[in-house]
Amino acid sequence: MIDELLVEADHKMDQAVVHTANEFGGVRTGRANPGLLHRLEIEYYGTRMPLQQLAGFSVPEARLLVVQPYDRSAIPAIEKAIRESDLGLNPSNDGTVIRIQFPQLTEERRKELIRFVRQIAEEGRIAIRNVRRHVKERIEAEDVSEDEIRRAEKELQRLTDEHIRKIDELLEHKEAELLEV
């Protein structure tokens, strides 16, 4: 039973790392990244749909993102959703595709984004520590020897440290990406 709890803890901690990585993907850098638009939903014929179901993406240049709608009639709705999002992007269209030019980030905006990604990383670490706390409580409630409990807690701490290290590596990579000029 304890081994099952540890496997469950590992899985939930992996999910926290993946969620944190996805959150990092939604933070704009000076470089074009289609992942920024994945969380956008478009009002299309009275239904809210994810943008990736309505269009394809390409990055022909480092700071240019091209959105190719599958249906040209969706261009105004897509353009409106991008413009009204909190991404600070200004799309333009030529009737067939939407082009999004990514402006150079200012030093002040970079520092603000770094504070934001550090906050996201801390939330990921907290999620991992919460998984550890819940699993530890369940391990202590098991009817096994003190040695088994100590062994399981040691393994649980190793898993926690490993997953927190992964989040720290993701944060380090994202900070370097944000500081890149």
Q: Write down the pLDDT at residue 9.
A: 94
**154 and 114 in one domain?**
yes
**175 and 110 in one domain?**
yes
For 11-41, letters b (16+ CB in 10 Å) and e give: ebbeebbeebbebbebbbbbebbbebbeebe
Domain boundary among the residues 76, 101, 126 is at 101
Q: Note the residue count of the chain.
A: 181
Contact yes or no for 57/67 (Cβ under 8 A): yes
CATH code (residue 97): 3.30.1360.40
Contact yes or no for 40/53 (Cβ under 8 A): no
Highest mean pLDDT among 52-66, 68-82, 84-98, 152-166: 152-166
Q: First and final CA of the chain: distance in angstroms?
A: 51
pTM recorded for the entire structure: 0.71
Rounded CA-CA distance 34/168 in Å is 24
The mean pLDDT of 87-113, rounded to a whole number, is: 84
3-state secondary structure of 46: coil
**19 and 65 in one domain?**
no
pLDDT in tens, 39-65: 788 888 888 888 888 889 888 887 888
76: pLDDT strictly greater than 70: yes
Task: Write out the residue range of the structural domain in which residue 15 sits.
Answer: 2-26+106-179
Contact yes or no for 151/136 (Cβ under 8 A): no
Q: Which helix (H) or strand (E) holds 61?
A: strand 55-61
Highest mean pLDDT among 73-77, 106-110, 161-165: 161-165
Sorting pLDDT into bands at 50, 70 and 90, what band is 121?
Answer: very high
Place of tokens 């944000």: 178
Range name among 31-40, 135-144, 159-168 with the lowest pLDDT average = 31-40
Instruction: Dihedral sign for Cα 175, 38, 109, 163, please.
Output: negative
Contact yes or no for 102/91 (Cβ under 8 A): no
> What percent of the chain stands above pLDDT 70?
98
Domain boundary among the residues 57, 72, 101 is at 101
Q: Which residues contact 81 (CB under 8 A, 6 or more apart)?
A: 40, 41, 42, 43, 51
> What percent of the chain stands above pLDDT 90?
41
The total of structural domains in the chain comes to 2
Q: State the chain's mean pLDDT as an integer.
A: 88
Q: Write down the pLDDT at residue 181.
A: 62
Tokens representing 51? Answer: 């943008």
